[in-house]
Amino acid sequence: MQAPVPSTVRWPLPFFARRRNAQCRRALKPVAAAAAGQDRPSVLTGELVTLRPLEPEDYPTLARFANDVEIALLVGGRPPTPDALPSVVALYEGRREDPHTLGFAIIANNDPGRLIGQCALFNQHQVARTAELGILIGDRDYWGRGCGTEAVSLLADYGFRLRNLHKVHLSVNATNPRAIRAYQKAGFTEEGRRRKHLWNDGEYVDLVLMGRLRDDPPPA
């Protein structure tokens, strides 16, 4: 089944300018709510999830996700580490100021306003037109429901159509088969492995490298 295509693409002008100054950030908040649960501008909307700009009120939930040991092991990279709220705030504020990083909150459409994760395009290469993709579904109630696959599809489609990217790539622990299946459903192909590259939960594990080209056939 083909991954859902974004049904809505709306870019409020302040989104592109918000890194310039705090006034632009404040302009992101609409004057009045258009409907209950829709008090912030949506950016990319699919059938299951909506991607919108990350806001400071999201940080406590993201800090809770960051301190979940099981999630940290699935994501890989560094060992699970206690992260106080100020550290999480500094991390995401730094990403907001980074011109090579575009981060989004992932909101469940069946519960408007419920933050279930975050995703981003980062390490953008202006000459090669490539970017790395990262995603985290931290709300366990939404694991295995296709939300991650759709969020990846929305974000990759945004990169190809609106940022003129040639390729989107990512890396994932070999011990995270659920994530690998989600990426495959979103059109990503395994390109190689770094053998025994990460220390994760008491063992060395492979790091799987995956990518998707703009000219690749759409996901089946």
Looking at the 3D structure of the chain, how many domains does it have?
1
Confidence (pLDDT) at 20? 33
Say which residue, 178 or 27, is predicted with more confidence: 178
Report pLDDT digits (tens) over 56-71.
999 999 999 999 888 8
Domain encompassing residue 145: 8-18+38-171
| Domain assignment of residue 113, yes or no | yes
| Domain assignment of residue 24, yes or no | no
Question: Across the chain, what does the average pLDDT equal?
Answer: 82
Helix axes 59-66, 85-97, angle to 10 degrees: 110
Report pLDDT digits (tens) over 136-171.
999 999 999 999 999 999 999 999 999 999 999 999
| Domain assignment of residue 196, yes or no | no
| Domain assignment of residue 71, yes or no | yes
**What is the pTM for the complete model shown?**
0.79
Report pLDDT digits (tens) over 168-195.
999 999 999 999 999 999 999 999 999 9
CATH (domain of 90)? 3.40.630.30
| Domain assignment of residue 31, yes or no | no
Report the distance separating Cα 185 and Cα 180, nearest Å: 9
